[in-house]
Amino acid sequence: MTRTFPDSVDVVVVGSGPTGAAYARILSERAPAATIALFEAGPALTDPPGMHVKNIAGFAAQRAAQRRSEGLHPHTDGEPGQYADPARRILRPGTHLLPEGYQAPGEDGLPALAMSTNVGGMGAHWTGACPRPGDGERMGFLPDLDELLDEAERLLEVDRHPLAGAPYTDLVRSRLADAFDAGRAPDRRVQPMPLAVHRRPDGALVWTGPDIVFGDVTRNNPNFTLYAESPVQRVLVEDGRAVGVLVAGQEVRARFVVVAADALRTPQLLFASGVRPPALGRYLNDQPQTVFAVRLRDVASAADVTTGAEIIGQSGVGWVPYTDEHPFHGQVMQLDASPIPLVSEDEPSPGTIVGLGWFCGKDLQASDRIAFSTDEVDDYGMPKPSIHYTLTARDRASLAAAREQILRAARALGEFIGDEPLLLAPGASLHYQGTTRMGPADDGTSVCGPNSEVWGVTGLYVAGNNVIPTPIACNPTLTSVALAVAGARDIASQLVLQSAAGAAIGGDHA
End-to-end CA distance of the chain: 38
CB 75 within 8 A of CB 94: no
CA–CA separation, 405 and 322 (whole Å): 12
Q: Is the peptide bond before 48 cis (omega within 30 degrees of 0)?
A: yes
Strand partners, 388: 369
Q: Cβ distance 247 to 231 under 8 Å?
A: yes
Query: What is residue 445's DSSP assignment?
Result: S
Q: According to the 3-state scheme, what is the secondary structure of 420-432? A: CCEECCCCCCCCC
How deeply is 32 buried, as exposed, middle or buried, from its count of CB atoms within 10 A (0-12, 13-18, 19+)? Answer: middle
Secondary structure of 6-22 as H, E, C letters: CCEEEEEEECCCHHHHH
- DSSP string computed for 58-123: SHHHHHHHHHHTSTTS--TTS----TT-TT-----TT-EE--S-S--TTS---TT-EE--STTGGG
Distance in angstroms (rounded) separating the CA atoms of residues 327 and 324: 5
- Secondary structure string (H, E, C) spanning 304-366: CCCCCCCCCCCCCEEEECCCCCCCEEEEEEEHHHCCCCCCCCCCCCHHHEEEEEEEECCCCCC
Q: What does the alpha-carbon distance between residue 3 and residue 474 come to, in Å, rounded to a whole number?
A: 38
- Do 116 and 67 touch, CB atoms closer than 8 A? no
Rounded to 5 degrees, what are φ and ψ at 285? Answer: -125, 120
Q: How far apart are CA 252 and CA 234, in angstroms?
A: 11
Determine how many CB atoms are found less than 10 A away from the CB of residue 146: 12
> Cβ neighbours of residue 278 under 8 Å, at least 6 residues apart?
444, 445
Please identify which of the residues 73, 125, 431, 509 carries the catalytic annotation. Answer: 431
Based on the residue annotation, tell me whether 431 is a catalytic residue of this protein: yes
Nearest one of 336, 348, 355, 342 to 300, comparing CA atoms: 348
Active-site amino acid positions: 431
